[in-house]
Structure 1
Amino acid sequence: MKAAVLKAFGQPLSIETVPDPVAGPGEVVVDVAATRMLAYAGEVFDGTRDYALVLPVVPGPGGIGRVRALGPDATQLKVGEWVYLDPTVRARDSAQAPDILLQGLTAPSEGARRLHAHFHDGSFAERTRVPLENAKPLGDIAAADVGRWCALGTLLVPYGGWLAAGLQAGETVVVNGATGAFGSAGVAVALAMGAGCVVATGRNEAALRDVGTRFGPRVRAVRMRGDEAADRDRIVAAAPAPIDVVLDILPPAATPAQVRAALLAVRPNGRVVLMGGVGMAGGPGLELPYPWIMRNNITVRGQWMYPPDAAGRLAALVRSGLLPLDPFEISEFPLDRVNEAVAHAATNAGPFRMTILRP
């Protein structure tokens, strides 16, 4: 089969013929129909982002495909079924604290690297092998829509944050960093889950305007200007009610002050979920006032990715019409133009825009 292979950081991906994967017990082989190209994929492939991958590797986190072959212990999946390929691979020998691999993207711990040694390659290939539980059934979908269904990979990240926060219908929430792909998706997911109002923050005025006009009066856009206290005042003023939840999903280039500006706007007994990349590129940590957290009963929680059942639940939101995929604009590239897709994703990122690879 054909696959895009990363042989060395800083080198272009090469298209090569590699052995077909074989499904063993607890595994499934899927024909990859579409997979998304992350906006920062080029930074992973050139080594700028210190993501742990053992080279050579076929990269690619998740996607949409059809089941080609099943291991002997499969009981419900069927050959030919459409599935979402969930890249979040969890070790099976620790239910309470499993090691986690993002297949085709990063293995951030020693245990994850052991998973990476077996589930080594990702979805930038005609076929890929994943754990049985990572092939999430989607039901019937039109072949022409498979690229747009790749939006599940973007939507799932903030969905995991809202699940961690215990978001309730009617609540007032903040998405801190709403102008990127994951942040804007967080706005859409919060509305689909019944949030009464979403305060969307960001520094890009045009992108903020775009997010605000897409969803109407339930979204209040607040441009962040760099003064922590003043930015917080604008967030509080924009909210029609006390802020119940803050979801921070800022990128690594943001500062701790940008996080605090929104975090400290939450009401007493409020919840904060941290999902962004602040601090990953170095610099100071997030300093929070101990007395304020304690006296106001604030819950501050970190959340990486999402629970194992999230993909099926999110797909149900899409099926119901509460979370339409139509807003996503997609640009598609065949496998042999993978390096063009990497460059395109970097320069054409933003709310509801995806670069799709079609192996």
Structure 2
Amino acid sequence: MKAAVLKSFGSPLAIENVPDPVPGTGEVIVDVVATRVLSYAGEVFSGMRAYALDLPVIPGPGGIGRVRTIGPDATKLAVGDWVFCDPTVRSRDDAMAPDITLQGWSARDEGGMRLQKHFRHGSFAEQMMVPTENVKRLGKITSDEATQWCALGTLLVPYGGFLAADLRPGETVLVSGATGNFGSAAVAVALAMGAACVVTPGRNDKVLADLVRRFGMRVRPVKLSGDESDDREQMRRAARGPIDCVFDIMPPSVSTNVVRAAIMTVRPYGRVVLMGGVGMAGGAGLDLPYPWIMRNCVTIHGVWMYPPDAATRLIALVRAGLLRLEDYEAKAFDLDHTNEAVAYAAANAGPFKMTVLRP
């Protein structure tokens, strides 16, 4: 089969023929039809992000495809099924605290690296081998629609955060980082889950206005000034009532003051979800007042990715018409032009934009 192979950090991906994957028990082979190229893929492949990858590797986190081969332990899947390949692969020998690797992308720790040595190759290929439990049925779609369904990979991240916070219909949410790629996805997901309104602080007037255009008056934009106290007050006013859940997905470059201003808008007994990158690039960590957390009974959830059943539940939201994949604008490339796709993704990042490979 043809694949894009990362042989060394800092080198272009090599487009070449490699052996077809051979499945064992508990594994499925999927013909890849469409897969996302993340905006920061070039930073991963250059080594700038220092992601844990055992080279050489076929990169690519998850994708959309059709089942080619199933194992003897698969009782619901059938050859030809349209599926989403969930890249969050978990070890099977510790259900309470499994090791995790993002197939074709990065491992979290030493255990994840051991797992990666088997489930190593990702979706920048004509076929990929996926753990049976990571293959999620989509129902009937067309080949053209597979491109749009790649948005699941982006939407799943904030969905995992909101599941951890037990977001309920009718609640008020604040998304810190709403003008970014994952932040704008969080706005869409919160509304699909029944949030009464979503407060969207940010500095990008164009994106804030676009969120209102897409989702209506349930979106409450706030233009940030940079003054922590003033911004916190403006966010509370925009909510027009208690803020039940604050979701943070700010990147590493953002000041901790901005993040803290948003987090401390949450009501007593409210929940905070941390899924952003504060502190990952060095510098000061997030300083939250112990007495404020304790006396207000605030629950803080650190969340990485999402639970195993999240993809199936999110697919149901799409099928119910509550979450619109058509909000995403996609630019597609074939496998021979993978390096061009990586460059395009970096230059054209933003809310509701995708770069997609069509192997």
Q: TM-score, normalised to structure 1's length?
A: 0.99
- Unaligned residue ranges in structure 1 (runs of 5+): none
Q: CA deviation at 1:209?
A: 1.6
1:347: Cα distance to partner? Answer: 1.2
Q: Distance in 1 between matches of 2:257 and 2:42?
A: 27
Superposition map of 1:1-359 within 5 A: 1-359=1-359
Q: Which of 250-259 and 18-27 deviates more?
A: 250-259
Which shows bigger deviation, 58-67 or 212-221? 212-221
How far off is 1:223 after superposition? 2.2
Q: Which letter does structure 1 place at the counterpart of 2:79?
A: V
1:50 positional shift: 1.5
How far apart in 1 are the matches of 2:46 and 2:226? 31
Structure 1 residue identity aligned to 2:236:
V
Q: Secondary structure at the match of 1:269?
A: strand
User: 1:255 Cα shift?
Assistant: 2.0
Q: Which amino acid aligns with 2:90?
A: R
SS of structure 1 residue aligned to 2:243? coil
Once residues 316 and 53 of structure 1 are traced to their aligned partners in structure 2, the CA distance between those partners, rounded to angstroms, is: 33
**Per-residue displacement from partner, 1:286-330 (whole Å, max 9, x unpaired)?**
111000111000001101111100100000000010111111100
Post-superposition Cα deviations, 1:70-112, rounded to whole Å, max 9, x if no partner, equal: 1222111111101000000000001000011000110120100
Task: Please give the alpha-carbon distance, in whole angstroms, between the structure 2 residues aligned to 1:51 and 1:201.
Answer: 30
> In structure 1, what is the Cα distance between the partners aligned to 2:351 and 2:272?
23
Shift of 1:206: 1.5
Could you tell me which amino acid in structure 2 is paired with residue 352 of structure 1? F
> How far off is 1:161 after superposition?
0.7
What is the alpha-carbon distance in structure 1 between the residues aligned to residue 38 and residue 126 of structure 2?
A: 18
Query: How many residues matched?
Result: 359
Per the alignment, in what secondary structure is the counterpart of residue 316 of structure 1?
A: helix
Rounded Cα–Cα distance in structure 1 between residues aligned with 2:225 and 2:6: 39
Following superposition, the deviation at residue 224 of structure 1 comes to: 2.1
Aligned residue for 1:7, secondary structure, equals: coil
Aligned residue for 1:356, secondary structure, equals strand
Matched residues in 2 for 1:327 and 1:107: separation?
Answer: 31
Paired with 1:328 and 1:281, the residues of 2 have a C-alpha distance of 29
RMSD (Å) for aligned C-alpha atoms: 0.8
**Partner-residue secondary structure (3-state), 2:341:** helix
Q: Which runs of 5+ in 2 are unaligned?
A: none
Provide the rounded CA distance (Å) in 2 between the counterparts of 1:225 and 1:130.
46
The CA distance in 2 between the partners of 1:30 and 1:97, in whole Å, is 28
User: 2:273 is aligned with what amino acid?
Assistant: V
Q: Distance in 1 between matches of 2:227 and 2:22?
A: 55
Cα separation, 1, equivalents of 2:8 and 2:229: 45
Deviation at 1:252, TM superposition (A): 1.7
- Specify the code of the residue in structure 2 equivalent to 1:299: T
Q: Which amino acid aligns with 1:201?
A: P
CA contact (8 A) 1:333 1:357 kept: yes
8 A Cα contact 1:24 1:72, kept in partner: no
Is the CA contact 1:242–1:267 (under 8 Å) kept in the aligned structure 2? yes
Offset, 1:203: 2.4
- Give 2:305's aligned amino acid: M
Deviation string 1:148-167 (CA, Å, 9 cap, x unpaired) is 00000000000001111111
- Contact between 1:211 and 1:351, CA under 8 Å: does it hold in 2? no
State the secondary structure of the residue aligned to 2:291: helix
AA aligned to 1:132 is T
SS of alignment partner, residue 106 of structure 2? coil
Which residue type is aligned with residue 148 of structure 2? R
* Secondary structure of the structure 2 residue equivalent to 1:143: coil
Paired residue type of 1:47? G
1:204-251 deviation per Cα after TM superposition (whole angstroms, max 9, x unaligned): 221222112211100011122322222111111111211000000111
8 Å contact kept, 1:51–1:107: yes
Distance in structure 1 (CA, Å) of the matches to 2:358 and 2:20: 18
Structure 1 Cα separation of the partners of residues 18 and 202 of structure 2: 43
| Aligned residue identity for 1:124 | F
Extract structure 1 runs of 4+ deviating beyond 3 A.
Answer: none
The letter of the residue matching 1:5 is V
